[in-house]
Amino acid sequence: MTISIALAGLYLAQSVPLYLVAAALPPILRERGVDLAVIGALGILLAPWVLKAAWAPVIDRLARHPRIGRKAVVLACLTITLGCIVILSRLDPVTDSMRFFPILMAMSVSSATQDIASDGWAVEHLRPDQQAFGNAIQAGAVAFGVLIGGSGTLLLVDRLGWQATLLAIAALAAIVALPFLLLPETRDRRILPTDYGRASFARFLSMPMAGSMLAFAFFFRMPEGLVKAMEQPFLVDQGFSLTEVGLISGGSAALVGLFGAASAAALIDRIGLRPFFITLIVGRTLTFGAFFAAAALGIGIWPLVALSGIDTFLRYVEMVGLYTAFMRFSSLSQAGTDFTLLTSVNLLMYMLGSMIAGTIASAYGYATVFGLAVLLSALTGWLAITRLPHSVATPPALTSMPEETLA
């Protein structure tokens, strides 16, 4: 139970600042008249999450240093992130844009680096039979991160103003991180290899089926950024207020997203990863098709609310499945490097889709963006499934138990 609480607090502290930027800032900017192309260009802030694999081996080496460890890396990164939020609270996101963007990028770099250490800690502490459940906890923490950092920010900005809202968000993120920071680093950790060597990409690429696993990670989320980047601006342009957008996107993330995460863990245990991913791709493609119909033909308010909830449900189902697959493939010798490399490749096409979505929508309309997402979902989904290694699709045997002393 202690590990579960620490894991939930760890990812919640990481998710709140992330979704302050990713979920709350786009509708705030749109309400203030910022062009869709500019909002879409904020997708560049995902670049550190794609490029973080470049410094993941360094974080793994720090994690093995007897005087540092993963917890120290998490603490340093979280301190930087929360410091940036405090600075942002004193700036205006529109009139101070020249100073605003570099701080957002610094937050993105520190959060991405923190994620390397966090994911490595999760791989090292979750046994194979716990991975789907552990990733459901992570997804649930992200859901609450969306609720607090995204919807909470939108709701509070309307009532308290920008500065007070950001200071409250920063304080909350610091508090929820305490269970993880107070937990001894070796508590319930799996037995780590004593001859782990030097973390590197070459060691990852030398693993059997590494190329296939990278291809799976690359293809799977290719169309998702197109929809996600434009979903909230689309709702704003359909007449929803910031408060309503916050309730729809964040409220559904906390409720529907939690249900999706729990459902995913149960479904993976019941039918296995390959059938799970096939079912997910079919559902995702149909949902993107519904967004296309909504943009092209128009639908009522409540169908839009339901559609947003379904999209949220599927994204959290997807999160649990993908992270379980990545965790199964990652080696304990360099857990942070392996897991990070896969997530970085996974985010690459998502980031590019987010960056071009605003430009396409501004020039050709929302329907074109959502229609393109439908086609890509079916095509890249099929390509991803054909590359999923059998060793990942098949549940691993229980080979590792928690360690009782420092490795």
Tokens representing residue 153 in the block: 């920010």
Positive or negative torsion for Cα 188, 178, 108, 33: positive
What pLDDT, on the 0 to 100 scale, is given for residue 74? 96
**Averaged pLDDT of the chain:** 86
CA 334 to chain CA centroid, nearest Å: 21
Question: 155 phi and psi, to 5 degrees?
Answer: -65, -45
Q: What number is the average pLDDT over the span 228-236? A: 82
What pLDDT, on the 0 to 100 scale, is given for residue 210? 92
Residue 220: pLDDT over 80: yes
Residue 39: pLDDT over 80: no
Residue 191 contacts by C-beta under 8 Å, 6 or more apart in sequence? 400, 401, 402, 403, 407
Task: Judge contact between 277 and 388, C-beta under 8 A.
Answer: yes
Let me know if residue 404 belongs to a domain: no
What pLDDT, on the 0 to 100 scale, is given for residue 47? 83
Question: 403 phi and psi, to 5 degrees?
Answer: -90, 155
What pLDDT, on the 0 to 100 scale, is given for residue 407? 34
H or E element: which one contains 66?
A: none
At 153, the pLDDT band (50, 70, 90 cuts) reads confident
Task: Judge contact between 331 and 207, C-beta under 8 A.
Answer: yes
What pLDDT, on the 0 to 100 scale, is given for residue 140? 86
Task: Judge contact between 173 and 13, C-beta under 8 A.
Answer: yes
Q: What is the pLDDT of residues 368-390, one digit of tens each?
A: 999 999 999 999 999 999 999 98
Let me know if residue 21 belongs to a domain: yes
How far lies 406's CA from each of 66, 129, 185, 279, 349, in Å? 10, 23, 9, 42, 39
Q: Name the domain count of the chain.
A: 1
At 201, the pLDDT band (50, 70, 90 cuts) reads confident
At 406, the pLDDT band (50, 70, 90 cuts) reads very low
Neighbours of 161 (CB within 10 A): 11
> Alpha helices, DSSP H only, in 298-400?
301-329, 335-364, 366-387, 390-393
What pLDDT, on the 0 to 100 scale, is given for residue 359? 83
What pLDDT, on the 0 to 100 scale, is given for residue 231? 82
What pLDDT, on the 0 to 100 scale, is given for residue 320? 94
Is the pTM above the cut of 0.85? no
At 250, the pLDDT band (50, 70, 90 cuts) reads low
In the chain, % of residues over pLDDT 90: 42
Let me know if residue 218 belongs to a domain: yes
Task: Judge contact between 56 and 341, C-beta under 8 A.
Answer: yes
Let me know if residue 26 belongs to a domain: yes
191 or 390, which is more confident? 390
Let me know if residue 109 belongs to a domain: yes
Q: Which domain holds residue 359?
A: 2-189+205-393
At 399, the pLDDT band (50, 70, 90 cuts) reads very low
What pLDDT, on the 0 to 100 scale, is given for residue 401? 41
At 279, the pLDDT band (50, 70, 90 cuts) reads very high
What pLDDT, on the 0 to 100 scale, is given for residue 228? 82
Let me know if residue 265 belongs to a domain: yes
What pLDDT, on the 0 to 100 scale, is given for residue 237? 82
Residue 249: pLDDT over 70: no
At 402, the pLDDT band (50, 70, 90 cuts) reads very low
- Ranking 69-78, 82-91, 130-139 by mean pLDDT, the lowest is 130-139
At 405, the pLDDT band (50, 70, 90 cuts) reads very low
Q: What is the pLDDT of residues 280-308, one digit of tens each?
A: 999 999 999 999 999 888 787 888 888 88
Let me know if residue 80 belongs to a domain: yes
Q: What number is the average pLDDT over the span 117-137? A: 90
- Residue 137: which CATH number? 1.20.1250.20
Let me know if residue 400 belongs to a domain: no
In total, the chain counts a number of residues equal to 407
In the chain, % of residues over pLDDT 70: 94
